[in-house]
């Protein structure tokens, strides 16, 4: 049996009881090491599970899946994924290869960033399509994520923006310093896009004053949530990875009350709204 087991988002104890029991009885345990990271490292997991973990980078999962699946028809192999195995990245390919080789699989679910962002108080069923923001280079500055945000906002929906995380897999073959995108960097790109669109005379779907939420290390002890205008988030410091950001759509009064918890004491009383999702100071 191939077990795909979600580890949740924080530390070693965010695995489910069921997941932990399976990890402890499997013959081999792989740790998927390219989609996301926990706030603790492989060593902490190994110590807590009492098991050696085999690191599975992207190349291994894509090109040497047979190695992972070896013997899983007669014994149990666990494949650990930060968050949920079918969260932001799915592992359909590994599942299909397993079934093709006559190996059954089972999924042990856990929280992923896709549902845990609900902790900021914005309701999950009011989110539209999720977008991914990428690091711009001098020559590659895609703006397509803004167009998706626009569509969501036109329907009054919130947008979860997933930000780049450190690449732990590619770095071995091609040198690429591990880096993650901060909320401030994501906000900066978005501000530049707004200016570009304004220069072109486009009607904007949002402004520098639109309510946004920055989230860092969700699920961990030191998680940080900051709500404010897009302009404010462009200069916020939410600490270490992983970060994500939400662009609000239409806000329900209860959602506004929750967001006020995360806007900093100095803004708590002065916060006003001109429409359902724009601050005035």
Residue 67 touches its own copies, criterion: CB under 8 A: no
When the beta carbons of 124 and 280 are compared against its own copies, the nearer one is: 124
Phi-psi group of 50: left, alpha or beta (phi > 0 → left; psi -120 to 50 → alpha; rest → beta): left
What x/- string results for residues 161 through 190 when contact with its own copies is judged by CB under 8 A? -x----------------------------
Structure token pair of residue 125? 């069923």
Residue 112 touches its own copies, criterion: CB under 8 A: yes
Q: For CA atoms 120, 126, 131, 136, give the dihedral sign.
A: negative
When the beta carbons of 30 and 127 are compared against its own copies, the nearer one is: 127
Alpha carbon separation from 107 to 78, 97, 254 (Å, rounded): 10, 15, 35
Q: Which of 54, 60, 95, 206 binds its own copies (CB under 8 A)?
A: 95
Residue 222 touches its own copies, criterion: CB under 8 A: no
Q: Which of 47, 62, 93, 202 binds its own copies (CB under 8 A)?
A: 93
Buried b (16+ CB within 10 A) or exposed e, 232-263: bbbebebeebbbbbbbbbebeeebbebbeebb
- The closest of 259, 215, 9, 210 to 117, measured between CA atoms, is 215
Residue 55 touches its own copies, criterion: CB under 8 A: no
Binding region for its own copies (CB under 8 A)? 6, 8-18, 20-21, 84-88, 90, 92-93, 95-96, 99, 107, 109-112, 114-116, 118-119, 121, 123-132, 151, 155, 157, 162, 218-219, 254-255, 257-258, 261
């Amino acid at each position: 049996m191939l077990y795909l087991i979600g580890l949740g988002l924080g530390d070693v104890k965010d695995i489910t009881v069921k997941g932990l029991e399976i990890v402890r009885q499997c013959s081999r345990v792989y740790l998927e090491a390219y989609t996301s990271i926990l706030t603790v490292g492989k060593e902490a997991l190994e110590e807590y599970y009492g098991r050696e973990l085999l690191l599975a980078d992207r190349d291994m999962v894509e090109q040497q899946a047979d190695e992972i699946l070896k013997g899983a028809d007669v014994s149990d192999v666990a494949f650990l994924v930060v968050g949920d195995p079918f969260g932001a990245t799915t592992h359909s390919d590994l599942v299909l290869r397993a079934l093709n080789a006559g190996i059954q699989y089972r999924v042990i679910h856990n929280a992923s960033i896709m549902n845990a962002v609900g902790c900021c108080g914005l309701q999950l069923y009011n989110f539209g399509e999720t977008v991914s923001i990428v690091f711009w280079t001098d020559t590659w500055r895609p703006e397509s994520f803004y167009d998706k945000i626009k569509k969501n906002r036109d329907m009054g929906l919130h947008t979860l923006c997933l930000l780049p995380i450190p690449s732990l897999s590619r770095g071995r073959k091609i040198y690429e310093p591990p880096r993650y995108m901060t909320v401030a960097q994501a906000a900066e790109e978005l501000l530049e896009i707004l200016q570009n669109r304004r220069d072109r005379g486009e009607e904007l779907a949002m402004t520098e004053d639109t309510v946004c939420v920055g989230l860092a290390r969700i699920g961990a002890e030191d998680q940080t949530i900051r709500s404010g205008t897009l302009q404010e988030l462009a200069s916020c410091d939410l600490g270490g990875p992983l970060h994500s950001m939400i662009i609000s759509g239409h806000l329900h009064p209860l959602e506004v009350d929750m967001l006020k918890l995360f806007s900093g004491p100095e803004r708590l009383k002065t916060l006003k709204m001109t429409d359902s999702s724009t601050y005035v100071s």
